[in-house]
A and B are shown apart, each in its own frame.
Chain A
Amino acid sequence: MIRDTIRPGTILRVLVLVALIAFLVAPERFAGLLAPLTTNNAPPIYNQGSLVDLTLSHLFTVAISTLAAAVVAVSLAVFVTRPAGREFLALSRAVVNIGQTFPPVAVLALSVPAMGFGEAPTRMALFLYGLLPIFENTLVGLSTLPPAVVEAASAMGMTGRQRLLKVELPLAMPLILEGLRLSAVIGLATATIGSTVAAKGLGEVIIAGLLSNNLAFIVQGGVITGVLAVLISDGFQAVARQAAKKSGTRPQTET
């Protein structure tokens, strides 16, 4: 087995992650770094709640919404690619394409009249919007399988269910993971805006900074969310590369 050589990019990411954790655990040690951004002796470190708590609830909101979206979206994509769901295929494609033109912030705002304030509308919006990229990518993955592979599986006597679980889904996995990555990244961004509807998350830090004109709050909130998004996105890409290697398909990069 050939080991991956450790790339400089990986080292950089590990260092960034360590710095992020250090900042979250002991933010007051970094006060000197952020103090030049404040005026009138304003606090340089967010003081209206624990940054660790905010980060964890932010991540939790994104994680459960993306997970729920993944379960539903993959099931729907499987359904419309089976003979029983064929009638829904064309419409579901069109709905996903139209849905992706909807701004996530509009979906979030429109969930509020229906669900009130707090975590619920944020999770709902993240879930709804998260469905789209996962569904689209799963659909592409399932409908672009090499026909020879599917035929070979049938010829081996596999039932429809075995073919789906042992051949089709593993082959589509890199694309499904890319869909998950897109959902998670959009979710992280939308959850930040969720703080305007009273969801607990890192957006609170940025908004507190905007309201009290404290640049240090804005920058630390922005940098934490930005770093989290980049690290999570990279993590998904690494897992997708592994899945592509395992299933023997070429890594699909989206450019």
Chain B
Amino acid sequence: MTMLADAGPDEPAASWRIDRLGVVIALLLVVALALPFATFRATRIASGTGLLLHEALPAPAAAAAAAALVAALAGAVTLRRPALRLAAGVLALVALALGVGAAAAFLTPADNPYARIAPGSGFWVGVFAAAMLVTDAMVRLRLGPAGRLIALAMTAALIAALLASGAWSRLSLLAEYRSRADVFWREANTHVILAAGSLAAAVAVGLPLGILAHRVRRLRDPMINVLNVIQTIPSMALFGILIAPLGWIAANVPGAHALGIRGIGMAPAFLALFLYSLLPMVANTIVGLNGVSRAVVDAARGMGLTGLQRLFQVEMPLALPVILTGIRIVLVQNIGLATVAALIGGGGFGVFLFQGLGQTATDLILLGALPPVALAFAAAVVLDAVIEISGRGKP
């Protein structure tokens, strides 16, 4: 299940026909134009007033943004070539991104530093519609792995440029970030360590376990069953349950406390993520090794390769795409689950998310929710490309 790569069978293109998907997207863009483009709040947690596009921007800018959106809307309905549809979608996204930044700068009163300007519902509906248009065009373009990586890199560069240029600096989300920039990067670091560290540990343990279960048939079912049960336990429950044994170890095993093992904090979160990661790693290793044809293994044996040589030079390389798929599942899952770690003091982006929920501060919620979403998405695109490249030229 490669994102943006598995286009369905193409139907024969009629010479002229209204594109129904385009109509849906165009209707969404009309709805977007009719909804508030930006929200003005006197303080960060005050309730907001919605402002339509022409109220949120000076007249020339509002006209330009509206023209870009209408052009994209017309393109969605009439254009059939994927590259042109992609251009229409990108045009809409850029207009929305620049427009919302400009609206924030325009609406911020000079005498009230506490006023907050956030994107309104119209902005979000517009982004959703434009993203659908872009996604559909990308699927139809059938980009190869390199093309998808380049598209991802360009998107990241564009967002970085928007952030660095100050075009968004008046937006409430960035005001929220500025007032806690150090903490943000510290928690970002924790989040990545939790997600990637537990993945590394799961690879180190899961691969040998998978190889063992592949060799010793009797172990396979019990091992998978136990890991399946662990995977089923809700994250908050597993985090909670692990607090008890780790707390006991910290209190009773000499030296454990010095190693950073605590009842609450990163240790139970890390351990829980590691346990969740084992099932995809072990199961995919078994499936990958099972998929290696007997003939290949026999040929390797005939060439005089020892058991270990066969494993590392023949079987593992052939099983690699399936094992990488396991790694993709684990990484995407862990980036999401690491967000929950904040509930037990484990840190990560969840700190902002749950603080934001506690204070009913929407911007803070976004500050905690958007980075893991972006990270998980990027990880999925990158690993999908790697999986596709690793699978080339293999039976």
Q: Do A and B bind each other?
A: yes
Say if the beta carbon of A251 comes within 8 Å of chain B: no
Cα(A19)–Cα(B357), bound, Å: 35
Residues of A within 8 A of B20 (CB): 87-88
* A97 in the interface (beta carbon within 8 A): yes
* Nearest A residue to B135, CB-CB: A94
Interface centre among B224, B232, B360 (most CB of A within 10 A): B232
Complex CA distance for A190 and B340, rounded to whole angstroms: 10
Do B237 and A223 have beta carbons less than 8 Å apart?
A: yes
Contact indicator B340/A193 (Cβ below 8 Å): yes
Q: Are A207 and B369 in contact (CB under 8 A)?
A: no
Considering only CB atoms, which chain B residue lies closest to A98 in the complex?
B3
Closest beta carbon of chain A to B384's beta carbon, Å: 9
**Does A89 touch B at the CB level, under 8 Å?**
yes
Q: Check A112 against B237 for contact (C-beta < 8 Å).
A: no
Q: Are B244 and A90 in contact (CB under 8 A)?
A: no
Which residue from B4, B247, B354 sits with its C-beta under 8 Å from A196? Answer: B354
Tell me if A218 counts as interface (CB < 8 A to partner B).
Answer: yes
Of all chain B residues, which has the CB nearest A95? B135
Q: How large is the interface on A (under 10, 10 to 19, 20 to 34, 35 or more residues)?
A: 35 or more
Given A218-B244, A225-B237, A226-B234, check contact A106 B136 (CB 8 Å). Answer: no
Task: Using A97-B1, A105-B350 as known contacts, say yes or no to A192 and B336 having CB atoms under 8 A apart.
Answer: no
CB-defined contacts of A196 to chain B, threshold 8 Å: 343, 354, 357
B277-305 residues at the A interface, CB under 8 angstroms: 283, 286-287
List B contacts of A110 (CB < 8 A): 365-366, 369
Q: How many angstroms between the C-alpha atoms of A112 and B361 in the bound complex?
A: 10
Q: Which residue of B has the minimal Cβ distance to A84?
A: B20
In the bound assembly, the distance between CA atoms of A101 and B337 in angstroms comes to 11
Does any Cβ of B come within 8 Å of A250's Cβ? no
Contact code string B233-246 (vs A, CB < 8 Å = 1, else 0):
11111111101100
Contacts of B135 in A (CB 8 A): 91, 94-95, 98
* Cβ–Cβ contact A230 & B286, under 8 A: no
A69–chain B nearest beta-carbon distance, Å: 18
Q: Taking the complex as formed, is B55 at the interface, i.e. its CB lies under 8 A from any CB of chain A?
A: no
Complex-state Cα separation, A194 to B66, whole angstroms: 38
What are the interface flags for A116-138 relative to B under an 8 Å C-beta threshold, 1 for contact and 0 otherwise? 01000000000000000000100
Counted as pairs of residues, one from A and one from B, with CB atoms less than 8 Å apart, the total is 169
B241 touches A103 (CB 8 A): no
Across the interface, name the chain A residue whose C-beta is closest to B340: A105
User: DSSP class of B's interface residues: helix, strand, loop or mixed?
Assistant: helix
B376 touches A (CB below 8 Å): yes
- Surface stretch bound by A, among B6-14, B106-114, B156-164, B252-260: B6-14
**A37 within 8 Å of B by Cβ?**
yes
Closest to B370 in A: A106
Assess whether B203 is interfacial by the CB under 8 Å rule. Answer: no
Encoded as 1 (CB less than 8 Å from any B CB) or 0, chain A from 175 to 202 comes to 0000000000100110011001100000
- The residues of A that contact B339 with a CB separation of less than 8 Å are 103, 105-106
User: Are A89 and B8 neighbours in the complex by a CB distance under 8 Å?
Assistant: yes
Given the known inter-chain contacts A193-B340, A215-B243, please indicate yes or no for A106 contacting B286, CB distance below 8 A: no
Task: Tell me the complex Cα distance, A218–B19, Å.
Answer: 54
B180–chain A nearest beta-carbon distance, Å? 17
Contacts of B8 in A (CB 8 A): 86, 89-90, 93
Give the chain A neighbours of B138 by CB distance below 8 A: 94
* Bound-complex Cα distance A97 to B8 (A): 14
Question: Do A206 and B136 touch (CB < 8 A)?
Answer: no
What are 9 A-B contacts with C-beta separation under 8 Å? A94-B4, A94-B138, A97-B380, A105-B340, A105-B350, A218-B240, A218-B244, A225-B237, A226-B234
Q: Please provide the 9 A-B residue pairs with the shortest distance between their CB atoms, ordered closest to farther.
A: A103-B336, A189-B234, A222-B240, A222-B237, A226-B233, A222-B241, A113-B362, A218-B240, A225-B237
Known: A94-B3, A94-B135. 11 other contacts (CB 8 A): A86-B8, A94-B139, A101-B376, A103-B376, A106-B372, A192-B236, A218-B243, A226-B238, A230-B229, A230-B232, A233-B232
Chain A residues at the B interface, C-beta cutoff of 8 Å:
37, 86-91, 93-95, 97-98, 100-106, 109-110, 112-113, 117, 136, 185, 188-189, 192-193, 196-197, 203, 206-207, 209-210, 215, 218-219, 221-223, 225-226, 229-230, 233, 255
